Amino acid sequence: METQVVDVPEKGRFEIRSGERLVGLASYHVDGTTMTLPHTEVDPGVGGRGIGSALVAAVLTAARERGLTVLPYCSFVRHYIQQHPEFVDLVAESDRPHFGLETAPR
């Protein structure tokens, strides 16, 4: 399944699409230099195919490119960061214990 992630700032979310079909989204809010990530969802009909992981990877990469830190309130985003420690630096060191990321390797 070929997908594309797009930022839709007027809706405050990144969307992942398969062709013209919306198959997932990650909501966000930017305040200054911080991107809050409260919620991610994927259409259950395409679950288990890595759609959520591709979406979160794109969101975190966009945050890095924009010089933002992230607050991963979404449990899926936190789990992704735990599994991909190359992104833990996006969470401010002082915020890591709050999100269970204090022991994540750097």
Q: Which CATH number is 44's domain given?
A: 3.40.630.30
In a domain, 105, yes or no: no
Q: What is the signed CA dihedral for 9, 19, 72, 66, rounded to 10 degrees?
A: -50
Position of tokens 């890591």? 96
State how many domains the chain has.
1
In a domain, 106, yes or no: no
**What is the span of the domain harbouring residue 47?**
4-99
- pTM, 2 dp: 0.92
pLDDT value at position 47? 83
Q: Do the strands 4-8 and 13-18 form a parallel or antiparallel pair, or are they unpaired?
A: antiparallel
Spatial separation of the C-alpha atoms in residues 65 and 85, rounded to whole Å = 17
Per-residue model confidence as pLDDT tens digits over 8-31? 999 999 999 999 999 999 999 999
pLDDT band at 104 (very low <50, low <70, confident <90, very high): very low
Per-residue model confidence as pLDDT tens digits over 67-81? 999 999 999 999 999
* 65-77 burial: b if 16+ Cβ within 10 Å, else e: eeebbbbbebebb
